[in-house]
Amino acid sequence: MYASAFPVTKGPLMDLRAALRANFGFDDFYPGQEEVMSRVLEGQDTLAILATGAGKSLTYQLPALLLKGTTVVVSPLIALMKDQLDVLRERGIGGVIALNSTLSEDQEIRARERIRSGAVKIAYTTPEKLEDETFLELLQTIRVPLFVVDEAHCISQWGHDFRPAYLALGGVIKKLGKPTVLALTATATPSVREDILHQLGIEHVKPIVRGFDRPNLVYEARKAQKAADKFKILTALFTGDDALEGTGIIYTATIKNALEVQHHLTHELNIPAAVYHSKLHKEDRTSVQNLFMGEAIRAVVATNAFGLGIDKSNIRFVLHYDLTGSLEAYTQEAGRSGRNGLPSRCILIYRMSDTRVQNYFLTGKYPDVEEVQRVFGTIEVFGDQVDGVSMADLRKILQLPLTKLRVILALLKKSGYIEGVAKSAYGLTEAVRKHRELVLSLANYDTKKSYDQSKLAMMLQYAETTSCRRRFILNYFGEDFNAANCGACDNCLRALRAGVNEGAATGGFKISDVVHHPKFGLGTVERTERDLVTVLFPNVGYKTLLASAVHHEPKIA
């Protein structure tokens, strides 16, 4: 069994810095790390929103070595797990294991035996693996002092990359006897934070938010009127007086755009670039990644399939060729640049028509209410079968795309209407069988749809804003930024050159103020700009209004 290089001392008196030096060889913590670890070691549930590159993994790795038992870490990507295991093993830290779909039957048996024996300090796994009842039963037989949800914003994501298994993690935590919960993410707006806390059953937690400001990132946006103008802007960015330096990533909304941009770079501008998207064969994706990491190419032109788990510190630019669906997606992707602290550029090229593509994606994310009712009705008709209705049969009967069917099943399961009765098979819950008059309630589902549509509107606002882009981003994530000029975005640099010093007028409101609107009700202030205020309303999402249209809600003493 692995023993920590540092003796365990109970409670807040533990010398975390000494433990850090003994186990990892570091002398000090990044902002927020020590606060997160102290909370966790005192048994407090914690949600930590730490910037990309701020050392999120250390906040659970060190406590895991100091706590008795096996810490369970839920991670969305197998590649991320492998990276974490490699790093820990390089530091001579054993007792670490990953359980996921890549294991053979023999490897799986050996891994479970190691867990059962108590020899494992950290067990990485996917949310889907925790749906395996036998694996969950194994975890119930051992001591789990800490349950970690990495990339916790996945709980609040929907669409083609949606992971229904994330919605079941709250139930898993209860079955494990409610160990201390640590949820980690680099990108979560106040509304997403609330969703994470609710889904995990830790509503009482006050989040730790640190370091969304990345001073070395320079934010820019370039508007194109026609499709051809995007290529002109791209050409200028690689050949003009203010040309991009070093290697970087160019994100596109579609595979078609990725192929066209890569063709333009290589054939028109003679710049070595490769394409990366989800439909490439695994070996081709690995090849592109290796070319990029080895700097054999200047740019990867990619859909959002590229990025998570890419640990390259000297990316000098991230260029978005199309609008993203949300500011969360934009900042997460843009944040992959400049992790070495050197100046790096985050540039958005956009057309107003880009919103059509994102609206199309949004439409595809959300099944119609009728489709949800059809799935429920089919399970109701065949649900009395001993083995339930299989996923394969549901697809044949309903003729629905697999991704859409998975979202609907997750909705129905989370809402308590259906349950898994066998592997990939579903039947009605006992409560529904006893009370057939229960009606599907899709209020939360409709609210989520409104949220996502309002997020796209906020992304367009970011593209169009004429004031500080850094303030826009930080305000969106709930951080105040009151400097009159950040000196590191195109709008602020333009104002400096023109000799204009535009203050950050707030209209009398601050971030997180609770306000009231006669039509939308109570909401929370997300950002302020001159005489405008952006408010997040629970039922309709983000609304940007005149400051005079809302008023402060009196605080209850």
Q: Domain residues for 530?
A: 505-557
CB 250 within 8 A of CB 302: yes
- Is 354 part of a structural domain of the chain? yes
Judged by phi (left if over 0) then psi (alpha if -120 to 50, else beta), residue 548 lies in: alpha
CA-based max dimension of the chain: 76
pLDDT at residue 21 above 90?
no
> CATH number, domain at 434?
1.10.10.10
Residues 192 and 320 in one domain: no
- Is 403 part of a structural domain of the chain? yes
pLDDT at residue 384 above 80?
no
Residues linked to residue 251 through DSSP beta bridges, in sequence order: 302, 320
Residues 262 and 191 in one domain: no
Q: How far apart are CA 504 and CA 349, in angstroms?
A: 26
Residues 219 and 206 in one domain: no
- Is 204 part of a structural domain of the chain? yes
More confident residue, 433 or 260: 260
Cα 183 to the chain's mean position, in Å?
11
Asked which of 360, 394, 412 is the last residue of a domain, the reply is 360
Residues 51 and 127 in one domain: yes
Position 439 scores a pLDDT of: 57
Position 258 scores a pLDDT of: 95
pTM over 0.75: no
pLDDT tens digits, 207-259: 888 767 888 999 999 999 998 999 999 999 999 888 999 999 999 999 999 99
More confident residue, 255 or 367: 255
- Is 484 part of a structural domain of the chain? no
Residues 218 and 322 in one domain: yes
Most confident of 139-148, 193-202, 236-245, 271-280: 139-148
Query: Could you tell me the CA-to-CA distances from 294 to 54, 310, 314, 430 in Å, in that order?
Result: 24, 12, 11, 56
Query: Could you tell me the CA-to-CA distances from 80 to 141, 250, 291, 362, 402 in Å, in that order?
Result: 27, 22, 19, 27, 25
- Is 174 part of a structural domain of the chain? yes
Residues 189 and 221 in one domain: no
Q: Quick count: other Cβ atoms within 10 Å of Cβ 12?
A: 10
- What's the mean per-residue pLDDT of the chain? 85
What tokens were used for 451?
């949220």
Q: How far apart are CA 514 and CA 482, in angstroms?
A: 19
Of all residues in the chain, the percent with pLDDT exceeding 90 is 40
Q: Quick count: other Cβ atoms within 10 Å of Cβ 517?
A: 17
Asked which of 210, 227, 244 is the last residue of a domain, the reply is 210
> CATH number, domain at 516?
2.30.30
Residues 86 and 196 in one domain: yes
Asked which of 210, 240, 264 is the last residue of a domain, the reply is 210
> CATH number, domain at 297?
3.40.50.300
Residues 31 and 161 in one domain: yes
Position 386 scores a pLDDT of: 77
Position 53 scores a pLDDT of: 64
Best CA proximity match to 188, nearest among 155, 148, 163: 155
CB 71 within 8 A of CB 145: yes
State how beta strands 344-350 and 389-390 pair: unpaired
